[in-house]
């Protein structure tokens, strides 16, 4: 066993996306003497799902425009009745003060001619979406840099450390040096995002996903192995995204009044949700598009051709200048003009996400999981449709909790066993006896996800997936990795397979249909509120993962 | 290949490498950035945005072009 550097901290944050950065900033504000350490596998000014930019805060309760109760009703609709509202309430109550803080730090929130925030509708009811401009992650990273927090960029968190029933730190891989580094802390925040690379996009590119492809459920695998519980894994989301580019725009198009049209030129949502139309819950919208395509009425597209020039400009400004400027290049390459051309969409690969889905760690109102000292925030927390606001609010909430608890005693977990275990794991990957590459391995299970886990689902298909991938759980330990980057890819692939299997397990357990297309079981096509208006919780058990209802 | 980097304009500053969220890029011995792991690119454009010389053009992978 080699000697490794051990970094002691009071508050260890794994993942420097929006949630992780906010946690670091808030912790530093409240406790300037606290040793805050932030571990990030990329570089915090450009990392995470919001790394390139975001053109709106989707869920802000602005006084006079919306109310917390109205927001909770909207999220309840989106979550199709299985909402555990505690965290959603916290997010709603703090959302406007978060906006004000961001504005004070330099984020731009454009105003209309009356000086009011530009608020739009994205949820099935209410108006909570606020237009945003500016480079959010750059702003957050600068704030982090002004605190005492120590940032370790290009460090891949590999495993959590425990001391008894308490979390005690983590072991990470220094991507540039190729060496391991241990971090010990009495409080650890998992803020490492959702899982984007679960299904396979129709382009075939492993990283050509809708959601940020470098977040692949590593936090979920690590946290579950440490004893934390997960929920919402049967909410296998798939979103209508710009064909091939698989790029953002969905919420931008919808809030600005774009229509979904089929190949016959029909605004087909009239057939599926005549009241809410394009603003129907995501799963209902997905089911409608799937039905249109299946019936041969494709291609399906977002049409903006009926919108006035000023609205088109707002859409272009949001997507092309703030959220994903490379989409402008893509549109130019394809000769697309929103004024004239419908933008064809296809259903994205299946993904799992807390922020724009229901999947994530089960946690209390302070973001603490069922493992003492282990917290979660952002897309890896089950903060149903909390989006970016949810990530940042819960990052702050966790920091406040950690600062108030003052469990800042030195923490010296027994490193030996965990370290030896990790070193053995890495040595085995270096030997790489599988005879297949990590890309082949990933392609294989993701292709199986498309066939057997992606909706429409059935017991037969889900069982088949679990059986077919059983041997891959053994195979994964012999995946080859020649350098630190490849070790990162192996860890992402392992986490992806773990998440896919958890999705299959949760989907198999929920013997009804719910969430529109997302959990449509052909063998249980009816929704059953009496039995199933409850979350499905996955817990680690001695014989493997165990599924149960939250309310029996 | 997802990018075209204009070698004449490139300052060899490494900003694109430092910020790439996918750890896709690396600098060669002369400081020239290149795509070491092109399959991991999300064509997010961070490299382009961070480049002070404006020397990076995004090509997109072939199946998407």
* CA A379/CA A357 separation, integer angstroms: 9
Q: Which of A15, A16, A17, A43 best tests the B interface by mutation, with the highest count of B CBs <10 A?
A: A43
For every one of its 552 residues, what pLDDT tens digit does chain A have, with 9 covering 90 and above?
Answer: 457 899 999 999 999 999 999 999 999 999 999 999 999 999 999 999 999 888 899 999 999 999 999 999 999 999 999 999 999 999 999 999 999 999 999 999 999 999 999 998 888 889 999 999 989 999 999 999 999 999 999 999 999 999 888 999 999 999 999 999 999 999 999 999 999 999 999 888 999 999 999 999 999 999 999 999 999 999 999 999 999 888 877 888 998 999 999 999 999 999 999 999 999 999 999 999 999 999 999 999 999 999 999 999 999 988 888 888 889 999 999 999 999 999 999 999 999 999 999 999 999 999 999 999 999 999 999 999 999 999 999 999 999 999 998 665 656 677 888 999 999 999 999 999 999 999 999 999 999 999 999 999 999 999 999 999 999 999 999 999 999 999 999 999 999 999 999 999 999 999 999 999 999 999 999 999 999 999 999 999 999 999 999 987
Q: What per-residue confidence (pLDDT) applies to A410?
A: 58
- Option in A205, A213, A326 nearest B45 (CB): A326
Q: What per-residue confidence (pLDDT) applies to A323?
A: 82
Closest residue of chain A to B45, computed from CA coordinates? A326
Residues in A whose CB is inside 8 Å of some CB of B read 41-43, 45-48, 51-52, 154, 175, 203-209, 212-214, 244-245, 324-326, 329-330, 333, 439, 485, 488-489
CA distances from A43 to A106, A194, A232, A377 (A): 20, 18, 29, 19
CB A374 within 8 A of CB A368: yes
Q: E-assigned strands of A427-477? A: none
B21 and A42 within 8 Å at the Cβ level: the answer is yes
Q: Is B21 on the interface with A (CB under 8 A)?
A: yes
B64 and A175 within 8 Å at the Cβ level: the answer is no
B65 and A245 within 8 Å at the Cβ level: the answer is no
**Chain A residues close to B50, C-beta within 8 Å:** 46
* CA A409/CA A186 separation, integer angstroms: 8
* CA B28/CA B40 separation, integer angstroms: 18
Closest residue of chain B to A335, computed from CA coordinates? B65
Write the ipTM. Answer: 0.97
Beta bridge partners of A500: none
* CA A536/CA A518 separation, integer angstroms: 15
Structure token digits, residue A169: 């730190």
* CA A457/CA A448 separation, integer angstroms: 13
Q: Is B1 on the interface with A (CB under 8 A)?
A: no
Residues A9, A14, A20, A23: what is their CA dihedral angle, to the nearest 10 degrees? -30
* CA A178/CA A62 separation, integer angstroms: 47
Q: Which domains does chain A have, with CATH numbers?
A: 5-193+353-409 (3.50.50.60), 241-347 (3.90.700.10), 433-549 (1.20.58.100)
Beta bridge partners of A6: A182
CB pairs < 8 Å spanning A and B: 82
Segment holding A161, helix H or strand E: strand A155-163
**Chain A residues close to B51, C-beta within 8 Å:** none
A457: buried, middle or exposed (CB in 10 Å: 19+, 13-18, 0-12)? Answer: buried
* CA B63/CA B65 separation, integer angstroms: 6
b (16+ CB within 10 A) / e for B18-40: bbbbbbbbebeeeeebebbbeeb
φ, ψ dihedrals at A294, nearest 5° = -65, -35
Give the closest residue to A338 by CA, choosing from A301, A300, A305, A309: A305
Closest residue of chain A to B43, computed from CA coordinates? A326
| Edge-first strand listing for the sheet containing A36-39 | A150-152, A36-39, A11-14, A187-190, A374-376
Residues 6 or more apart in contact with residue A467 via CB below 8 angstroms? none
Where does residue A453 fall: left (phi above 0), alpha (psi -120 to 50 degrees), or beta otherwise?
Answer: alpha
* CA A423/CA A176 separation, integer angstroms: 17
Q: Which of A16, A49, A52 best tests the B interface by mutation, with the highest count of B CBs <10 A?
A: A52
Q: What per-residue confidence (pLDDT) applies to A1?
A: 45
Q: Which domains does chain B have, with CATH numbers?
A: 3-58 (3.30.70.20)
Q: Is B60 on the interface with A (CB under 8 A)?
A: yes
Q: Which of A20, A40, A41, A42 best tests the B interface by mutation, with the highest count of B CBs <10 A?
A: A42
**Chain A residues close to B65, C-beta within 8 Å:** 333
**Chain B residues close to A333, C-beta within 8 Å:** 60, 65
């Amino acid at each position: 066993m080699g000697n490794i550097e051990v970094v002691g901290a009071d508050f260890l944050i794994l993942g420097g996306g929006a949630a992780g950065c906010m946690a670091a900033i808030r912790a530093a504000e409240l406790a300037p003497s606290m040793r805050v350490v932030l571990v990030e596998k990329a570089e915090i000014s450009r990392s995470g799902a919001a790394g390139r930019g975001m053109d709106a805060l989707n869920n802000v309760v602005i006084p006079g425009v919306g109310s917390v109760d109205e927001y909770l009703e909207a999220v309840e609709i989106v979550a199709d009745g299985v909402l555990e509202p505690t965290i959603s309430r916290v997010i709603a109550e703090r959302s406007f003060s978060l906006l004000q803080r961001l504005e004070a730090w330099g984020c731009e929130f454009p105003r209309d001619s009356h000086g009011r925030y530009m608020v739009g509708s994205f949820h099935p009811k209410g108006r909570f979406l606020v237009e945003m401009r500016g480079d959010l992650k750059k702003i957050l990273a600068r704030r982090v840099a002004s605190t005492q927090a120590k940032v370790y960029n290009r460090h891949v968190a590999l495993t959590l450390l425990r001391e008894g029933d308490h979390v005690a730190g983590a072991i990470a891989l220094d991507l540039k040096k190729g060496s391991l580094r241990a971090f010990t802390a009495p409080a650890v925040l998992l803020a490492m995002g959702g899982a984007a690379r679960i299904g396979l996009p129709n382009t075939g590119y492993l990283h050509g996903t809708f959601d940020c492809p470098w977040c692949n459920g590593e936090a979920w695998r690590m946290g579950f192995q440490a004893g934390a519980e997960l929920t919402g894994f049967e909410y296998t989301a798939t979103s209508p995204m710009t064909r091939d580019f698989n790029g953002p725009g969905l919420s931008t198009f919808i809030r600005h009044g774009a229509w979904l049209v089929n190949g016959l030129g029909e605004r087909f949502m009239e057939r599926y949700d005549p009241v809410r139309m394009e603003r129907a819950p995501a799963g209902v919208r997905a089911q409608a598009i799937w039905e249109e395509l299946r019936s041969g009425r494709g291609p399906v597209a977002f049409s903006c051709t009926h919108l006035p020039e000023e609205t088109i400009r707002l859409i272009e400004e949001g997507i092309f200048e703030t959220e994903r400027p490379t989409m402008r290049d893509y549109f130019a390459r394809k000769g697309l003009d929103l004024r004239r051309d419908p933008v064809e969409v296809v259903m994205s690969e299946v993904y799992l996400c807390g922020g724009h889905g229901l999947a994530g760690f089960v946690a209390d109102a302070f973001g603490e999981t069922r493992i003492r000292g282990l917290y979660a925030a952002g897309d890896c927390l089950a903060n149903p449709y909390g989006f970016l606001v949810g990530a940042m609010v819960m990052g702050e909430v966790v920091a406040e909790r950690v600062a108030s608890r003052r469990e800042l005693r030195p923490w010296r977990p027994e490193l030996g066993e965990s370290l030896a275990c990790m070193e053995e794991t890495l040595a085995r990957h270096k030997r790489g006896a599988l005879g297949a590459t990590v890309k082949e391995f990933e392609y294989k299970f993701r292709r199986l996800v498309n066939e057997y886990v992606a909706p429409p689902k059935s017991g037969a298909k889900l069982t088949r997936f679990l059986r077919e991938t059983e041997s891959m759980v053994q195979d994964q330990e012999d995946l080859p990795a020649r350098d630190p980057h490849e070790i990162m890819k192996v860890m992402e692939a392992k986490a992806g397979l773990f998440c896919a299997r958890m999705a299959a397990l949760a989907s198999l357990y929920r013997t009804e249909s719910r969430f529109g297309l997302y959990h449509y079981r052909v063998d249980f096509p009816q929704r059953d509120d009496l039995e199933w208006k409850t979350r499905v919780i996955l817990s680690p058990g001695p014989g493997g993962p165990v599924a149960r209802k939250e309310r029996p | 290949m997802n990018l075209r980097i204009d070698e004449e304009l490139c300052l060899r500053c490494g900003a694109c490498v430092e910020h790439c969220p996918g750890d896709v890029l690396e600098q060669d011995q002369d400081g020239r950035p290149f795509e070491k792991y092109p399959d991991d690119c999300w064509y997010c454009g961070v490299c382009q945005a961070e480049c002070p010389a404006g020397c990076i053009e995004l090509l997109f992978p072939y199946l998407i072009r």
